Chains A and B, each alone.
Chain A
């Protein structure tokens, strides 16, 4: 197969590419430049796409004896990931930018271009497994190592995208991959993991949002009493379920801590209340993507709504009301009811659905547009 291996300069994508070369595929390495002006260097190697990362990617390709090119994806990355991230926060929602990047950049813009240029597949260092059925259809599964499993951020892929994707690391643990990198002589074997959000290299998301979105102060309102209990500098600084940093002038009458329950960017209101008011029994979503093929609805699943969250039992059915969000009014979303009520579910999050005996197979995903409470 002719495979385009996305190499970030990190250890995972390096080992993924090495395995494909070893398996006899015709591999071309591509380093994706996500910003027009890469940081010259970046302490701690957090995030990606510094000049050092481009260099490391090239050295990996040299060692594997495959060509390496840099593709400038800064335009789609800015629009589909960074701008979307800011717009979602400004609208009081909680987006996951890695997921948008996979959906709109890596497995869309890059994959489409790769296919047009004659490649058969795009490979990445994500920890997830694919299974190919006799009829050629592909299902997405959790990685063998639950601690590294990244199937959640890939649950946005369509069947078409999944068919042209390769995840060579899905069956391994991170220590095993590091050991393999060292054994192969890859200089990136000991490189620290990237984490957090790559375009916020210092990890200070609140500071970044403040810089990019500015201040828009408003009231903090107690959900039970309706009283204004404080002021804030912008709803984007908060996420639902947040407890710290509320800077409330007066404690609640019952003395118990208060949590962010809701964000309303239109009237700039942050609503707070007791922990039990965070309880959500179900969510509405926009139109789902069924990556492994569309199931019959309703269906019992395990649902996961955070990248590193637990998957919980839920029932999924076609939405009983018009979906909101960015979908057209007649688009059909889903309603998802949790078997056990959940805390801290926020609009903007992606909810991924798993099935199978151990909940290892990904059915698909959708974006949460609203929640309902007991």
Chain B
């Protein structure tokens, strides 16, 4: 039995999702077709749209289904930039936090490299929370030149939540729309799209027990978004591509279940995380906990832990061999572990940013997972420390 401690990467599909997706896969009908089979498919898609919207306190017309959270983030960042720039040529500035997921950071960087955008990375404090004074200063400087602000709801690597409400208040005062990547937050924290005031929000199926390849961008209908994908114009002319009725069904059911169970699950997962941190601390007294220590300021299930003297990739390998799945910050496409840009932005040095592992708990986690980690960790850390002195980096 493996201890799966990587729910922030992807989490097991909820039992309610599988039959829903299977049933939908058995149906025929393109939701855009005019005949009876098509209309029936359209009806089911719209019911699932309403279900998802209701769970997140959005209007159905605000839901744009996409093929991934990455696509939704790209659509928000690029689509808002292009549309806002088309309205006013002066709007070149894109403000994003320095701890965004690569789906936002790299989309913004691409705008900077090839679309004449001026990308500004907003700094965070030592727990990874946005520096609101820096946002104020950035907005005060030529607010009419800002195309958009993108700040995630909660960080995927360290779990720290962002002051989204404050970001919205400030950006809106300057007349600037706000996007938030909430893929880690939905199902883990209360997320109310309507009340949050954000103009666009990313939600992804497989992070909360739905299928991979099904996601959505919630976006206010009055806000123009230039499409990334052109074709049939299925989703409000903002996103083209035959609607994935089965994926949408799975996404909607998963969001509905995850949101309904969120309060109960939050309490349970928070408790397990506390157990995990305590167990690691007992085994490795000099462990460093990255992110906000206040339980109200972070995701319930994410524990980003630094192991001084260890290289994270060596530790990951040893834990893997010992039956524990966890992750380093991020890896490039060839699989080389990179220093975490999140930890670097939080002021950690390169050594610290390459000696941290993320353990993330979810709806299937139990005390046995924590016990399994506690069992193999001391030996793994001891070995990784010996190897750490022979680091390939410095060698």
Which residue, B390, B391, B395, has most C-beta atoms of chain A within 10 A? B395
- In the complex, the answer to whether B318 meets A71 with C-beta atoms within 8 Å is no
- In the complex, the answer to whether B336 meets A72 with C-beta atoms within 8 Å is yes
User: Which A residues touch B314, using CB under 8 A?
Assistant: 113, 117
CA distance A109 to B334 in the complex (A): 20
- In the complex, the answer to whether B335 meets A112 with C-beta atoms within 8 Å is no
CA distance A33 to B333 in the complex (A): 12
CA distance A108 to B395 in the complex (A): 10
Kindly identify which residue among A33, A36, A71, A117 contacts B383, using a CB–CB cutoff of 8 Å: A117
With A33-B335, A72-B336 already in contact, the answer to whether A110 and B383 are too (CB < 8 A) is: no
B264 contacts the other chain (Cβ, under 8 Å)?
no
User: Which B residues touch A340, using CB under 8 A?
Assistant: none
- In the complex, the answer to whether B334 meets A38 with C-beta atoms within 8 Å is yes
- In the complex, the answer to whether B317 meets A28 with C-beta atoms within 8 Å is yes
- In the complex, the answer to whether B387 meets A113 with C-beta atoms within 8 Å is yes
User: Which A residues touch B336, using CB under 8 A?
Assistant: 33, 36, 70, 72, 74
Kindly identify which residue among B318, B386, B395 contacts A109, using a CB–CB cutoff of 8 Å: B395
B313 contacts the other chain (Cβ, under 8 Å)?
yes
- In the complex, the answer to whether B313 meets A117 with C-beta atoms within 8 Å is no
Contact flags (1/0) for A20-57 with B, using CB distance below 8 Å?
A: 00000000100101001010000000000001001000
- Chain A stretch 117-152: residues in CB contact (< 8 A) with chain B: 117-118
CA distance A54 to B334 in the complex (A): 6
- In the complex, the answer to whether A112 meets B390 with C-beta atoms within 8 Å is yes
With A51-B333, A69-B317, A70-B335 already in contact, the answer to whether A117 and B387 are too (CB < 8 A) is: yes
With A113-B387, A117-B383 already in contact, the answer to whether A72 and B392 are too (CB < 8 A) is: yes
User: Which A residues touch B141, using CB under 8 A?
Assistant: none
CA distance A33 to B335 in the complex (A): 9
Task: Report the nearest B residue to A26, measured CB to CB.
Answer: B321
Kindly identify which residue among A31, A58, A67, A110 contacts B392, using a CB–CB cutoff of 8 Å: A110
- Give how many A residues have a beta carbon under 8 Å from the other chain's beta carbons: 25
Which residue, B331, B386, B390, B394, has most C-beta atoms of chain A within 10 A? B390
B89 contacts the other chain (Cβ, under 8 Å)?
no
- In the complex, the answer to whether A54 meets B383 with C-beta atoms within 8 Å is no
B323 CB to closest chain A CB (Å) equals 12
A116 contacts the other chain (Cβ, under 8 Å)?
yes
A57 CB to closest chain B CB (Å) equals 9
User: Which A residues touch B395, using CB under 8 A?
Assistant: 75-76, 108-109, 112
Kindly identify which residue among B334, B384, B391, B393 contacts A117, using a CB–CB cutoff of 8 Å: B384
User: Which B residues touch A33, using CB under 8 A?
Assistant: 334-336
B144 contacts the other chain (Cβ, under 8 Å)?
no
CA distance A118 to B386 in the complex (A): 10
Task: Report the nearest B residue to A79, measured CB to CB.
Answer: B395
Task: Report the nearest A residue to B389, measured CB to CB.
Answer: A116
| A contact set with B: CB distance below 8 Å | 28, 31, 33, 36, 38, 51, 54, 58, 67, 69-76, 108-110, 112-113, 116-118
In the complex, the 6 A-B pairs of residues with the closest C-beta atoms, listed nearest first: A70-B335, A116-B387, A116-B386, A109-B395, A72-B336, A76-B395
| B contact set with A: CB distance below 8 Å | 313-314, 317-318, 320-321, 331, 333-337, 383-384, 386-387, 389-395
| Complex A-B: 22 CB contacts under 8 Å | A33-B334, A51-B333, A54-B334, A69-B313, A69-B335, A70-B334, A70-B336, A70-B337, A72-B336, A72-B393, A73-B392, A74-B336, A76-B392, A76-B395, A113-B392, A116-B389, A117-B314, A117-B318, A117-B383, A117-B386, A117-B387, A118-B383
